[in-house]
Amino acid sequence: MSRRLLKHSFSLLHVDHVQLNHRWNYKNVISPYYRLYYINEGEGLLSNASQQICLEPGYIYLIPSFTLCNLYCKEYLSQYFIQFFEDSPDGISLFHHNRSLMKLPATELDIVHFQRMLAINPGRGINRSDNPKVYEKSDYYREYQALNNRQSMGAYLETQGIILQLLSRFVDSENFDQAGSEEIPQKVLSAMSYIQINLHQPITVAQLASRASQHPDYFSRQFLRYTGERPLAYIHTKRIERAQFLIITTRMAYSEIASEIGFDSLPHFSRVFKKITRLTPGEYRRQYQQMHDGE
Average pLDDT over residues 122-143: 57
Model confidence over 204-221: pLDDT tens digits?
999 999 999 999 999 999
| CATH code of domain 9-179 | 2.60.120.280
Same fold, 9-179 and 184-287: no
Tell me which residue of 80, 101, 83, 112 sits closest to 12, measured CA to CA. 83
pLDDT band at 180 (very low <50, low <70, confident <90, very high): very low
Model pLDDT for residues 4-26, shown as the tens digit of each residue? 667 778 989 999 999 999 999 98
pLDDT digits over 106-120, tens only?
Answer: 999 999 999 999 999
Look over the chain and give the mean of its residue pLDDT values, rounded to a whole number. Answer: 86
What's residue 89's pLDDT? Answer: 67
What is the reported pTM? 0.74
**CA distances to 98, 161, 199, 200 from 196, in Å:** 18, 27, 6, 9
Distance (Å, rounded) from C-alpha 136 to C-alpha 117? 27
Residue pLDDT, tens place only, 56-85: 999 999 999 888 889 999 999 999 999 999
Q: Give the pLDDT band (50/70/90) at residue 290.
A: confident
Domains of the chain, by residue range, sit at 9-179, 184-287
The per-residue pLDDT for range 153-170, each reduced to its tens digit, is 999 999 999 999 999 999
Can you give the pLDDT at residue 227?
Answer: 85
In angstroms and rounded to an integer, the radius of gyration of the C-alpha atoms of the chain is 19
List the beta strands (DSSP E) in 64-218: 69-72, 77-87, 102-105
Identify which of 143, 137, 147 has the alpha carbon closest to the alpha carbon of residue 250: 137
pLDDT at 128: 47
For residue 130, what pLDDT band results from cuts at 50, 70 and 90?
A: very low
**pLDDT of the residue at 93:** 80
CATH of domain 184-287: 1.10.10.60
Give the pLDDT band of residue 294 (cuts 50, 70, 90): low
